[in-house]
Amino acid sequence: MSLNDEMVAALRKDFRTAPISGQDKVMLEYVAKLTRDATQCSPEDHGKLRAAGFDDRGILQITLIAAWFNYINKVADALGVGRDIQVERT
């Protein structure tokens, strides 16, 4: 897949309408759900991923990568990485 400017803009606007494969859309729906509230992810979601062609290893990899990015972004946000803030040292 090429990540040209048009593709990036389409993905940023709404991945559901972006010109990507059905498999990618199913994966991104799962990742969005995981990001909003991981406790809402269910065996039904995993079934949708399997129906889209992902095996258990793929589902695990998608989950781990999405969770890691969520984690590291929260750490960066908490520490003000990329923002102009002062952290008080004790």
Write out pLDDT tens, residues 10-25.
Answer: 999 999 999 999 999 9
How far is the C-alpha of 56 from the C-alpha of 46, rounded, in Å? Answer: 9
CB contact at 8 A, 15 and 23:
no
Q: What are phi and psi of 88, to 5 degrees?
A: -75, 130
Q: Is the pTM of this model over 0.85?
A: no
Q: Which residue has the higher pLDDT, 55 or 8?
A: 55
pLDDT band at 2 (very low <50, low <70, confident <90, very high): low
CB contact at 8 A, 17 and 10:
yes
How far is the C-alpha of 27 from the C-alpha of 11, rounded, in Å? Answer: 13
